[in-house]
Structure 1
Amino acid sequence: MTGREVPDEYLEGYAQILAEACVTGRRLTRDELESLRTRGERAAEAGLGLRALVRRHLSVTRESWPTLSVTETDRVLAVVEQAIDAFAEGHERAQRLAVRQEEGVRREFIDDLLYGRSDLGRLAERAERFGLLLSRAHAVAVAQGSKPVEDMHPATRQVESAVISRFGERRILLTTKDGRLVCIAPGEQDEVLAFFAKQAHAATDGGQVAIGRPHPGAGGVVHSYEEALNALDLADRLHIEEPVLRAADLLVYPVLTRDRQAMADLVRNTLGPLQSARGGARPLVDTLTAYFDSGCVAAEAARRLSLSVRAFTYRLERIHKLTGANPADSVHRYTLQTAVIGARLLGWPDNDV
């Protein structure tokens, strides 16, 4: 926008204020300054850019210069500086207010979207304003680092810049929620979420990222978001250290814990006898965990626990004797492994089940 396109109403009285102040050498009065601030606010609300407005003020100053009755340029420039500063202050004040209002609207929408608290029809209408078409399936990725992040955090800005530079808008929504980075993308655009995961992992200094499955509609966003959060929770409880988790790969765990009482019974009945061992059940549960995590290769499991193969084999024999289940037997192995997974999910033996 050029200076000529700025309406005269936003410079009303400026030339007169300039002339009077230069004649007397006084500073602008409080009322004059507030009037300039008010006009600056109105100009911002009208969508006029600050550069064009400043240019127009300088143009009026140049046009008025020959009519001013003083020869001291310092006095003229001091008045111009004071006037433009007040005008710019009002303009910036209006801009900050608009940004805060927009941020408030955006945050309210994100809360409603991720928690499913609003009327779905109304939510779909609001979503279009932020680039989402909720008639399509969407998937949600959530990144969690060692420290919480917010919208203006450097990590958030870094990831957002990288994703937008790579994919443009593409109906992607990047935000933060409860100290985590969140990316919502159309379900068929898995490459967007994979790229987000890579960038978020790096920006959060090795944080973990979980990707929910695509689901249709506004409720689908909530479902995918909850899947991603549950995947992060599972990773924490099971000590899964993979940088990127996919809810689709972890579906067995919700199935195992759907009947919590049945799982607790399995843990108590299968692993309960280990509590009678010297040192308690924990070392032997860790032994089974390492054994199953290493593909039932005793040498690798022993290395992970910093044990000799002989010491590790002795522990397996001790487990067999106490529980009656042989970890090397394919039938017993499944029962033991399921019980160990249940123990990790339920926090046993540190917590009673």
Structure 2
Amino acid sequence: MENVKNDGDIREETTERLEQAMGSLGTAATASMEERLPWFRAMSAEYRSWVGLVAQAGIAGFVEWFKHEEKIRPAIAGEVFGTAPRELMRAVRLQQTVEIVRVVIDVVEAQVNKLAAPGGETQLREAILRYTREVAFGAAQVYARAAETRGAWDARLEALIVDALLRGEVDESLHSWAAALGWASTSVAVMAGHTPDDEPEAIIDDIRIASRRARVDVLAGVQGSRLIIIVGGVEDDPLAAAKPFTSKFGAGPVVVGPRVEDLYAATGSARAALAGLQAVAGWPDAPRPVLAGALLAERALDGDDDARAFLVEEVYEPLRDAGAPLLDTLTTYLEQGSSLEATARLLFVHPNTVRYRLRRVTELTGYVPADGRAAFTLRIALVLGRFMSRPANL
């Protein structure tokens, strides 16, 4: 009477066939990926080699799992990817991992009739389906954990960059950190305001969503009651670049620092924005957002050395160097309540001469004396300049 093999004997014989075919299956899987997956062909030779090892590890995991009658835990994607460097997890997306699994399974399924012992074809096909399902679920879990870990690390790195910029500790590592977060922008402006009531993580997430919609690079950090946003890709108008993010701040003013060329110079923009946020209380009707440069007078009165230096060097000194008539005309005009006629009478000149000199003031400083805010800033600049010009022994 002929012996009839039971399922255990069939599984054992199929396992032997699988073990003998592992090398050829791995080679066939790599060749199939080369043919079917354009992104695999576009990879470097080193990465293709690593992906090939991943495919072979997946086949070896299946054979081991099948050998033990599917009682052990399958070699899910986390263990399979353990054969490759960590960088490969960034280079190969989840969808591409699924495609790798599909190619490997197709290669194995195409040879089921050769690989399975007689009568074990159905058994092998069902095992392949179960293994595929387990690997797919496992891959999703691995990528989810990787994304969570990467998100936590990125958040810490982002906070370090913002903190370093605020403290002025800028070196080569700063750009390396920013590049690791995908930062590719040059022109930069820094925004400062108060933190909303949401959790810091939720605030940063909202800012990231807004940055993707605006298609600009952003780094953000919550520091106690302050929210700092560094915006990249700023063109001529920092206020326009800041507009998509103004609503992410809490109640109160939002101050935008000047546009600077890159992250190395962003410390200056951040310093101006923070000084403006401190001094904006002196201008209750300030717009939201407001440029830090529009708050130079308030910042100077609040003790900001950068603002004082700017007003002296860029406003007072050009007027002083232009000659006494220009400086005297501006001083008299401001003291006479912006009256052309009164200024002309006191200086014994025609009102048109006063008009000409005031236009020269605007050309030299950028401030229009007839404008109330500009007149205030010019007055502060004159006072500071005179302080700087007084004799040292007084």
Give the TM-score normalised by structure 2: 0.50
Change (3 A) 1:90 1:37: farther
What RMSD in Å do the two structures reach over aligned CA positions?
Answer: 4.2
2:133 to 68, 78, 81: 81
State whether structure 2 residue 255 is matched by structure 1 residue 210. yes
Secondary structure, counterpart of 2:91 in structure 1: coil
Q: Percent identity?
A: 14
SS of the residue 1:180 aligns to: strand
- Greater Rg, structure 1 or structure 2? 2
Say if 2:197 and 2:250, in contact at 8 Å, map to a contact too: no
Q: What letter matches 1:163 in structure 2?
A: A
Change over 3 Å in CA distance of 1:23–1:142 after alignment to 2: same
Match of 2:356 in 1: none
Q: Which residue is equivalent to 1:144?
A: 194
Q: Is 1:116 aligned with 2:163?
A: no
Counterpart residue number, 1:182: 229
In the TM superposition, residue 180 of structure 1 has moved relative to its aligned partner by 1.4
**What is residue 341 of structure 1 aligned with on the other side?**
none
Separation in structure 2 between the aligned mates of residue 208 and residue 144 of structure 1, nearest angstrom: 8
Distance 2:135 2:143 in 1: 13
Distance in 1 between residues matched to 2:76 and 2:303, nearest whole Å: 70
Query: Is the 8 Å Cα contact of residues 94 and 139 (structure 2) preserved in structure 1?
Result: no
- CA distance in structure 2 between the partners assigned to 1:116 and 1:91 by the alignment: 36
Structure 1 segment 145-294 matched on structure 2, within 5 A: 146-147=196-197, 150=200, 153=203, 154-164=205-215, 169=216, 172-178=217-223, 180-185=227-232, 189-191=235-237, 193-204=238-249, 208-214=253-259, 220-236=265-281, 239-240=284-285, 242-258=287-303
* 1:139–1:2 Cα change, 3 Å: closer
Give the residue type in structure 2 aligned to 1:57. V
CA contact (8 A) 2:165 2:267 kept: yes
CA displacement 1:275-299 (0-9 Å, x = unmatched): xxxxxxxxxxxxxxxxxxxxxxxxx
Q: Secondary structure at the match of 1:12?
A: helix
In structure 2, how many angstroms separate the alpha carbons of the residues matched to 1:59 and 1:117?
50
Match of 1:131 in 2: 184
Following superposition, the deviation at residue 94 of structure 1 comes to 4.6
Which has the higher relative contact order, 1 or 2, with Cα contacts under 8 A spaced 6 or more apart? 1
Q: Distance in 1 between matches of 2:298 and 2:77?
A: 66
Q: TM-score, normalised by structure 1?
A: 0.54
* Residues 240-285 of structure 1: per-residue CA shift (max 9 Å, x gap): 46322222222222333449xxxxxxxxxxxxxxxxxxxxxxxxxx
Aligned residues: 250
Alpha carbons of structure 1 residues 43 and 86: separation in structure 2 relative to 1, 3 Å? farther
Residue 185 of structure 1, CA deviation? 4.6
**Aligned twin of 2:79:** 35
Distance in 2 (alpha carbons) for counterparts of 1:23 and 1:218: 57
Q: CA deviation at 1:148?
A: 5.4
Unaligned runs of 5+ in 1: 260-333, 339-353
Contact kept? 1:143, 1:209, Cα under 8 Å: yes
